[in-house]
């Protein structure tokens, strides 16, 4: 794992039956689909194993959002997944605009409160 996920340690071998950690359990009949299904299953459970982490769902969501920017910095990712990289760029730009709009509204609310607080009434 290269991207922090909250489930696996980064840059650490994983102790899974489908990894090189257990060559005796490797099955050459496994397909990419089978392997991905196995990883997905392991990511969704909480059983500890060498190379795993424990985190809350909220922490995992934060890391998942951050992983988009992490992946965009990886040239190989952008070359291999050009459509996805463009989709991520669009999402990040939209989120940036929404965040800026929300920030502007909050600043206006705070400014209005400050003006009312500083008002000297007769």
15, 78, 119, 121: the catalytic one is 15
Known catalytic residue: 121?
Answer: no
Residue whose structure tokens are 């840059």: 11
Q: How far apart are CA 98 and CA 105, in angstroms?
A: 11
For residue 107, what are its two tokens? Answer: 């600043």
Among positive and negative, which fits the CA dihedral 69, 75, 77, 78?
positive
User: Where in the sequence numbering do the catalytic residues fall?
Assistant: 15
């Amino acid at each position: 794992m290269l991207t922090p996920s909250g489930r696996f340690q980064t840059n650490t071998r994983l102790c899974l039956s489908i990894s090189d950690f257990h060559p005796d359990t490797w099955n050459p009949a496994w397909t990419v689909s089978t392997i991905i299904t196995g990883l997905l299953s392991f990511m969704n459970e909480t059983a500890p194993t060498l190379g795993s982490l424990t985190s809350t769902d909220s922490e995992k969501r934060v890391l998942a959002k951050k992983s988009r920017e992490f992946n965009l910095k990886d040239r190989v990712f952008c070359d291999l997944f050009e459509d996805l990289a463009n989709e991520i760029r669009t999402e990040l730009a939209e989120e940036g605009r929404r965040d800026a709009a929300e920030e502007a509204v909050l600043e206006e609310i705070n400014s209005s409160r400050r003006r009312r607080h500083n008002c000297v009434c007769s």
